Chains A and B, each alone.
Chain A
Amino acid sequence: MNYTFKWSVLWSGQSGTWLLQGLITTLELSAVAWVLAVALGIVSGALRTVPLPPLRWVATFYVEFFRNVPLLVWMFFWYFAVPPLLPRPAQDWLFNHGAEFWAGTVALGVYHGARMSEVIRSGIGAIPRTQFEASLAMGLTTFQAYRLVILPVALRLIVPPGTSESLNLLKNSSVALTISVAELTFQARQIETYTAKAIEAFSAVTLIYLVLCLSIATIMARVERAYAIPGLISRTRAVD
């Protein structure tokens, strides 16, 4: 109907502090979850291509199980279903020391780890099989071949889809508000509650997400250029 904009709600009162706190929580949550996701992704992505069937099965199970269930369900799973498995004192300690944050981090990291795994597997798949065979012929073990030859090349190849996946992770961190993690979107709702100015609060948060994602994309584009292997990755030539 007749909505009057009042942008000052964003810097008057506690809104500024809340947005900042939310931003910090979002960054902490995403950073820890990202490290977890990349680690899980590299390990399971590599395992899915090794010539040992049982290891491949384990990795395939992990990927299919975790990426095919909605993230929201994983949030509830890690927050509501996992702690009761611990002894009562451990539960109490955890609940007093940010169980919400850690449940959210693990949920996000494990879920995106499964998705990251597919990205890394496709990177490995893009490397000619002969490189692996040549490494073995040079006397490297399978582990050495992966660590020294296959993964360093694959990780360079997957920077663009990896960036996409990382940005998804950052944005998906907002789902953690369902288990009461006070991240950026939570704070937008908080401001909305106090001021009833939803459009202003959500515009501010949209802008913050946009700036965050654009900065990450820019940094990753530089990383891609800096580490490109001449002849293998030709980013600028692709359009010609």
Chain B
Amino acid sequence: MMRTLSLLLAVAGLLTATPARAQDTLDKIKQSGVLTIGTRTGSPPFAYVNRNNEWVGFTIDLVEQLVKPPVEKAVGKSIKIEKKESTPPTRIPLLTSNAVDLIAGTMTDTAERRQSVDFSLTYFYTGAQFLVKKGSPIHGINDIAGKRIASQQGSTNAKIIREKYPQAQLREFPDQPAAFQALLQGQVDAYTNDGIQLYGLKGKAPKPDDWDVVGDFYSEEPYGMAMRKGDAKFKAAVDAGLKQGLESGKYFEIYDKWFGPKSELPYPMTPQVKAYLMKQIGK
């Protein structure tokens, strides 16, 4: 009886002693030796599970090669990167509940989101377009009235269509594979998302030539990594990593690996995008 009681007390002591909420992210990483990132499984080439069943991508490389070293320096030991699936509707809750420390997927940095989370430097810049079947009457945002448009629930483009183009029949899916499947099968006429992601999907379609990415950017989508709000030390470490990468050119090597001419998804960086990225580090 006494032993059970003391065991119970010990467990209770452990539970109450774990300062799950009151620490900052760097302390948490120092204790656990793990940086947990929330990322995607179906958003090539940013983060996805490839044919060899490996969880890889541009954003994951940025974290492992650029962000990890300064975080390790800040906590004074080597750390492991752990990946968890996060989708637009789940990513902010995952972050605020401490389940993940950094959202590194395809998250657009918006003013509204900045009220709940902090964003790193922008590491990618794109805009929303439409993926349609070749020969579709949809050529851009002005052709979508009355058409069935799939989007990802929780994305910025779904919001724009809902508010500014209510004539379109918006169908919101919780994840990209379901929305894309609906497009492939004709449940919807177009799927809207950030242009670069649509190119990624087009490449993964059974017959890539049957599909077209159309329309001018109808939104601006600067991608940032999201962190819990007000955690200045952690943000400084993440930003330092991205800044160093841009300065040393390492960032552009990683970009070339995923978007260069030899990659699965060639997407040359326009001078405007490059200027936008470099402006962030004062160049």
Contacts and interface: CB of A to CB of B under 8 A. Distances in A.
B171 A180 contact: yes
A83 interface: yes
Interface residues of A, number: 28
Given A193-B89, A196-B112, A186 B153 contact: yes
B169 interface: yes
Interface residues of B, number: 33
Given A178-B173, A198-B96, A190 B228 contact: no
B184 to A, nearest CB: 9
A67 B21 CA distance: 42
A128 interface: no
A96 B169 contact: yes
Contacts of B137: none
A177 interface: yes
Interface in A172-217: 177-180, 182, 186, 189-190, 192-194, 196-198
A201 B62 CA distance: 33
B228 A1 contact: yes
A193 B159 contact: yes
Contacts of B116: 196-197
A80 interface: yes
Interface stretch (B124-132, B185-193, B244-252, B261-269): B185-193
A3 B21 CA distance: 10
Most chain A Cβ neighbours within 10 Å, of B21, B150, B181, B186:
B186
A79 interface: yes
B83 interface: no
A238 to B, nearest CB: 35
Interface of B: 21, 88-89, 92-93, 96, 98, 112-113, 115-117, 148, 150, 153-154, 159, 169, 171-174, 178, 181-182, 185-188, 228-231
Interface of A: 1-3, 76, 79-80, 83-84, 91-92, 95-96, 99-100, 177-180, 182, 186, 189-190, 192-194, 196-198
Given A1-B230, A95-B148, 17 more contacts: A1-B229, A1-B231, A79-B182, A79-B187, A83-B187, A95-B187, A177-B174, A178-B174, A180-B150, A180-B171, A180-B178, A189-B89, A192-B92, A193-B159, A196-B112, A196-B115, A196-B117
